[in-house]
Amino acid sequence: MAELHDLTALEQGAAVRRGEVSPLELVEHYLARADTVGAFVTRVPELALARARALPDGGGSPLHGVPTAIKDLNPTAGVRTTFGSAAYHDHVPETSDDVTSSIEAAGMVWLGKTSTPEFGSPCYTEPEGLPAAVTPWDRTRMAGGSSGGAAAAVAAGLVPVAQGSDGGGSIRIPASCCGLVGLKPSRGRISGAPMYGDPVGLATAGSLARTVRDAAALLDVLAGRRVGDPSWAPEPSTTFLAACDAAPGRLRVARFSAPIIAETDVDVECLQAWEDASALLESLGHVVEDVPVPLDRAAVGVFETCWAVLTALSSAPPGREQQLRPLTRWLSGRGHAVTAPEFGLAIGQLRRLAAQALTALAPYDLVLTPTLASPPLPVGALRDDADPAADFAAQKAFTPWTSAWNVTGMPAVSLPLHWTPTGLPVGVMLAARPAEEALLLAVSAQVEAAVPWAHRRPPGW
């Protein structure tokens, strides 16, 4: 007989609606599972049990009654939120953000806060003084970042689905490392209310899940604009979950594998995954064409300027600056050196470079690249506290494609289509035109139906 955590998130929601299992039973089941992957920094068992008991019967969301978790970058009223930083070890917000509120309004029960690196900046999740988040496929290797704790939790069966956030690949990177679906939606699809902490428009919340349909269902929970939003994606004509059942038609797919933001070698397993995905898309009736890299290399320096300023905005409380990690202090120093006019010009230049890329890709329905330049690396392989510049360069070499779609605002998904001979997951990334998540999900579901992956279980499942 299957364990409760063997069920997908949607299957658990359906079981709740049929009365076969209660939200309380689901919460109790997941709370009893040990965290051996560094997924959580804070657990709230009493709060989760109380919420499960208080849930009304039914509910509008297919995920009503399903357990989940909240990334430690998202404020949660009355529950410690550290932003991955020792400088905020005792910070307890008075209000939650809209991501948290949307999850609660859908009747989902969050069990705690998932691990993230300091201010969500690095692409590895190794917060100071805490266990690193690791992939359950090999617990000596990184879960990726910055949504590493969320990905580790889903991949290890500690929650069935979880939200993450993505400003340069922070959902898709851990999805690739952990063998998951990682969906970054379009700019403006999910509100940043009430903080609106990213004036550049790089970051958004999104889904980490074992299946495309679970990722779509969570996107339905999170999506929607608020009155004060500076930008928003147009309302979809149907739910994102329903989009998974639509036939995508014959699509034109652009593909390239040349790294965008760094001169780096690409592991043969990542290239093989990309080649196999190309052949699979062609076998499904799509047209796959090689194209030049659509984003000008000049975007790299402009992106780094904006990234450094955003890091500088994430300052420590007065008197706690020395508790920040060396990488954060180095990036903040770069950000503080940027004048206000320079920052404004950088945002404008990033918009123009994004427009050029979108124009180049306009004839294509999808874009296919590898997700990462390597399978998951050993813990500590990228981190270099003694030389933050080298740390940052190593991160760029590991993630040479993901940030491009944050610059353009396009929706993008990492799909777990490949495993190495030693059993490590390798993701492949698809991106679509802005606001075309429905098409991206339709073809992703088509790919999953052709080569299912949800039956795969990591050691210790």
Q: Two tokens at 363? A: 């004839």
Instruction: Output the CA angle 210-442-424, nearest 5 degrees.
Output: 35
The rounded radius of gyration (Å) of the Cα atoms in the chain is 20
Strands 412-419 and 161-166: unpaired
Q: Residue type for 307, please?
A: W
How far apart, in whole angstroms, are the C-alpha atoms of residue 11 and residue 189?
Answer: 26
* Segment (H or E) for 302: helix 298-313
Q: Residue 397 in contact with residue 373, Cβ under 8 Å?
A: yes
Alpha helices in 57-211, H assignment, sequence order: 98-105, 148-155, 172-178
Catalytic residue positions?
A: 71, 146, 170
Q: What percent of the chain has pLDDT over 70?
A: 100
Any idea which of 190-194, 268-272, 303-307, 312-316 has the lowest mean pLDDT?
312-316
> Chain-wide mean pLDDT for the chain?
97
* Residue partners of 413: CB distance under 8 A and separation at least 6: 172, 181, 182, 183, 184, 212, 215, 429, 430, 431, 440, 441, 444
pLDDT at residue 145 tops 60:
yes
Helix (H, G, I), strand (E, B) or coil at 93: coil
Looking at residue 138, the DSSP 8-state letter turns out to be -
pLDDT in tens, 94-139: 999 999 999 999 999 999 999 999 999 999 999 999 999 999 999 9
Contact in structure between 388 and 327 (CB atoms under 8 Å): yes
Distance CA 132, CA 148 (A): 9
**354 phi/psi in degrees, rounded to 5:** -65, -40
Q: How far apart, in whole angstroms, are the C-alpha atoms of residue 230 and residue 247?
A: 33
Separation of alpha carbons 284 and 307, rounded Å: 39
Q: What band does 412 get if pLDDT is binned at 50, 70 and 90? A: very high
pLDDT of res. 177 = 99
Residues ≥6 apart with Cβ < 8 Å to 28: 49
Q: Of 381, 452, 409, 457, which is closest to residue 212 (Cα–Cα)?
A: 452
What pLDDT shows up at residue 451?
A: 98
Task: Evaluate if residue 446 carries a pLDDT over 70.
Answer: yes
Count other Cβ atoms within 10 Å, centred on residue 131: 18
Residue 271, pLDDT score: 98
Instruction: Tell me how far apart the terminal alpha carbons of the chain are, to the nearest angstrom.
Output: 15
Confidence category of residue 231, pLDDT binned at 50, 70, 90: confident
Separation between Cα atoms, residue 210 and residue 352, nearest integer Å: 36
With CA atoms as reference, report the closest residue to 146 among 171, 179, 176, 182: 171
Average pLDDT over residues 297-312: 95
Which strand (E) or helix (H) includes residue 161?
Answer: strand 161-166
Average pLDDT over residues 312-332: 95
- For residue 298 the two structure tokens come to 């000049």
Report the distance separating Cα 387 and Cα 296, nearest Å: 28
Using 50, 70 and 90 to split pLDDT, how confident is the model at 2? confident
| pLDDT above 70 for 32 | yes
Instruction: Tell me the average pLDDT across 309-336.
Output: 95
Q: pLDDT category, 318, cuts 50, 70, 90?
A: very high
Spatial distance between the Cα atoms of 164 and 181, rounded to a whole number of angstroms? 12
Residues present in the chain in total: 461
Nearest to 326 by CA among 383, 281, 244: 383
Helix (H, G, I), strand (E, B), or coil: what is residue 41?
A: strand
Residue range 266-278: average pLDDT?
98
pLDDT at 109: 98
Average pLDDT for 422-433: 98
Q: Are 440 and 202 in contact (CB under 8 A)?
A: no
More confident residue, 58 or 292: 292
Give the confidence band of 59 by pLDDT, cuts at 50, 70, 90: confident
Beta strands in 283-365, from DSSP E residues, in sequence order: 287-290
Q: How many Å apart are CA 6 and CA 19, to the nearest integer? A: 18
Give the Cα separation of 410 and 430 in Å (integer): 10
In this predicted structure, what is the pLDDT of residue 71?
98
What gap in Å lies between CA 178 and CA 281, rounded to an integer? 23
Q: For residues 142 and 135, is the Cβ–Cβ distance under 8 A?
A: yes
Q: How far apart are CA 277 and CA 261, in angstroms?
A: 22
Residue 315 has pLDDT above 90, yes or no: no
Domains by residue range for the chain, with CATH: 4-450 (3.90.1300.10)
Nearest to 171 by CA among 184, 162, 161: 184
Q: What is the 8-class DSSP label of residue 6?
A: G
3-state secondary structure of 344: helix
Mean pLDDT score, 74-86? 98
pLDDT per position as a tens digit, 396-411: 999 999 999 999 999 9
What percent of the chain is predicted at pLDDT more than 90? Answer: 98
Cβ-proximal residues to 111 (8 Å cutoff; 6+ apart), any chain:
27, 30, 31, 40, 43, 44, 45, 48, 67, 68, 69, 158, 159
The answer on pLDDT for 1 being more than 80 is no
